[in-house]
């Protein structure tokens, strides 16, 4: 419990810390009252698993995350200019390199608490209404709706934060007797469901195979990215696809450095590390990359990824 408190304290204060050390590097400044930071140095070194996470799911995720540390990742910039407007993968992820330790830190900075599907967080929150909650305007994303049932994985912390921002409320989430104030999407509360180990799984490949670990890690990085950005673009919301495969759904991306882009970039980088993968596993990984990348609008642009946060 002491460890949980420590982790949550870091999460709660991350937004505040980020406000203090933010460095502006964008033409699109964060709205007044909301500031972010680039490459924040949050002392996160592990994930906390809530008791609602089944032990087998926890075991797989722990193995997945530790796998990052042993990966031999290709550091060559692939030819993806047509998608990413000449930005390098490192710039899009806001990392200096693709060393395993860098990627691990990227993840720990954004994913701090994992909760299970059985946890009904709506029964665990209380709210304080603020009369002067700055800039409640948001880009819509119904997929972000806090009532969306968890099938694979969702960024609950970001969803609650966005809801609070719209309602001019600050929510407190009670987890195992510890209160987490949702002062920033960077609170890093991720909810996982059984779908992460079924629908997200490669048929015929063991749950603990490297390829299946890669599939889950890609999803984890996708959700981790929902901790970032600010203003109307807070939590990198998805956009409605006007046409194409998912026309009418919030399943597209208007940011070349948003969650789908980050997922595709990560998968492409770690693909070569899957040296023992079967042809079927490789094809499944290719399909996952293609799917994420296909979600990007051709007009997608680079957006300020500094996370927002504030004090009570």
Partner 1 sequence: MKNVLLIISLVVSLVVIGAFLRRGSPQIEVTSPVSNEWVAVPLSIPVPAELTKKVETKQSDIKKFEEKLRAIESSFPTIASMRNRSDAEVHHRPPGLTDSAVELGQVVDEVKRDPRLAPAALRFYFRCASDSALLTSLRAVCLRTWMDSSRRYPKARNHQDNPHILPQNVKELAISLPSD
Q: Which of 142, 166, 179, 208 binds partner 1 (CB under 8 A)?
A: 142
184 binds partner 1 (CB under 8 A): no
In the list 5, 282, 297, 310, the residue contacting partner 1 (rule: CB under 8 A) is: 282
DSSP 256: T
Dihedral sign from CA coordinates of 206, 118, 178, 35: positive
In 3-state terms the chain splits into helix, strand, coil percentages (rounded to 5) of: 40, 15, 45
Report whether 210 contacts 278 (CB < 8 A): no
Q: Which stretch binds partner 1 (CB under 8 A): 11-19, 92-100, 156-164, 278-286?
A: 278-286
Burial 16-28 (b: 16+ CB within 10 A, else e): ebbbeebeeeeee
Binding residue for partner 1, selected from 3, 122, 203, 312, defined by CB under 8 A: 203
Q: Where are the beta strands (DSSP E) in 32-145?
A: 48-49, 113-115, 125-129
Q: How far is the CB of 247 from partner 1 (least distance, A)?
A: 8
> What part of residues 77-136 is at the interface with partner 1 (CB under 8 A)?
78-80, 82-83
Nearest in space to 93 (alpha carbons), one of 312, 272, 270, 216: 270
Q: Taking the mean position of all CA atoms in its chain, how far away is CA 101? A: 18
Sole window of 17-25, 64-72, 117-125, 265-273 interacting with partner 1 (rule: CB under 8 A)? 265-273
Q: Of 76, 149, 275, 276, which one interacts with partner 1 (CB under 8 A)?
A: 149
Beta carbon nearer to partner 1, 42 or 288: 288
Residue 194 touches partner 1, criterion: CB under 8 A = no
Applying CB under 8 A, among 104, 112, 165, 268 the residue interacting with partner 1 is: 268
Query: How many other β-carbons are positioned within 10 Å of the β-carbon of residue 245?
Result: 11
Q: Does 294 bind partner 1 (CB under 8 A)?
A: yes
Q: What is the CA radius of gyration of the chain?
A: 18
Contacting partner 1 (CB under 8 A), which of 132, 279, 311, 312? Answer: 279
**152 scored as a contact of partner 1 (CB under 8 A):** yes
Q: Kindly tell me which residue out of 293, 302, 305, 307 binds partner 1, with binding defined by CB under 8 A.
A: 293
Q: Which of 159, 182, 288, 300 binds partner 1 (CB under 8 A)?
A: 288
CB 60 within 8 A of CB 72: no
Integer Cα distance of 15 and 186 in angstroms: 7
> Using CB atoms within 10 A of its CB, is residue 101 exposed (0-12), middle (13-18) or buried (19+)?
exposed
CA–CA separation, 270 and 28 (whole Å)? 32
Query: Rule CB under 8 A: which of 37-76 touch partner 1?
Result: none
- Report CA torsion sign: 120, 126, 129, 132: negative
What is the Cα–Cα distance from 238 to 259, expressed in whole angstroms? 8
Give whichever of 51 and 286 is closer to partner 1, judged by the CB atom. 286
DSSP 188: -
Least CB distance to partner 1 at residue 39 (A): 26
Task: Please say which residue, 181 or 200, places its beta carbon nearer to partner 1.
Answer: 200
Instruction: Work out how close the CB of 252 gets to partner 1 at its nearest, in angstroms, rounded to a whole number.
Output: 10
Which CB atom, from 102 or from 148, has the smaller least distance to partner 1?
148
* Interacting residue ranges for partner 1, rule: CB under 8 A: 78-80, 82-83, 142-143, 145, 148-149, 151-153, 199-205, 215, 219, 222, 238, 244-247, 249-251, 268, 271-272, 278-284, 286-291, 293-294
């Amino acid at each position: 419990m002491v460890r949980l408190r420590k982790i949550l304290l870091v999460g709660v204060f991350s937004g505040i810390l980020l406000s203090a050390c933010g460095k502006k590097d964008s033409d699109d400044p964060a709205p007044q009252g909301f500031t972010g930071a680039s490459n924040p140095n949050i002392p996160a070194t592990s994930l906390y698993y809530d008791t609602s996470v089944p032990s087998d799911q926890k075991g797989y995720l722990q193995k997945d995350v530790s796998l990052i540390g042993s990966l031999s990742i290709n550091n060559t910039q692939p030819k993806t200019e047509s998608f990413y407007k000449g930005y390098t993968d490192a710039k899009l992820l806001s990392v200096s390199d693709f060393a395993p330790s860098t990627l691990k830190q990227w993840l720990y900075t954004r994913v701090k608490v994992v909760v299970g599907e059985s946890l009904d967080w709506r029964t665990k929150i209380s709210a304080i209404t603020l009369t002067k909650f700055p800039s409640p305007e948001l880009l819509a994303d119904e997929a972000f709706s806090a009532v969306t049932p968890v099938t694979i994985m969702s960024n609950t912390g970001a969803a609650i934060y966005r809801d609070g921002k719209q309602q001019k409320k600050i929510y407190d989430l009670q987890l195992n007797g510890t209160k987490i104030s949702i002062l920033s999407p960077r609170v890093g509360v991720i909810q996982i469901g059984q779908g992460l180990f079924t629908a997200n799984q490669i048929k015929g490949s063991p749950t603990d195979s490297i390829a299946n670990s890669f599939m889950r890690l890609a999803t984890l990085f996708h959700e981790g990215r929902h901790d970032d950005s600010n203003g109307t673009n807070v939590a990198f919301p998805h956009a409605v696809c006007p046409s194409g495969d998912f026309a009418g759904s919030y399943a597209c991306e208007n940011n070349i450095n948003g969650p789908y882009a980050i997922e595709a970039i990560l998968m492409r980088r770690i693909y070569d590390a899957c040296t023992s993968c079967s042809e079927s596993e490789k094809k499944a990984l290719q399909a996952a990359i293609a799917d994420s990348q296909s979600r990007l609008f051709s007009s997608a642009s680079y957006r300020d990824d500094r996370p927002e946060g504030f004090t009570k």
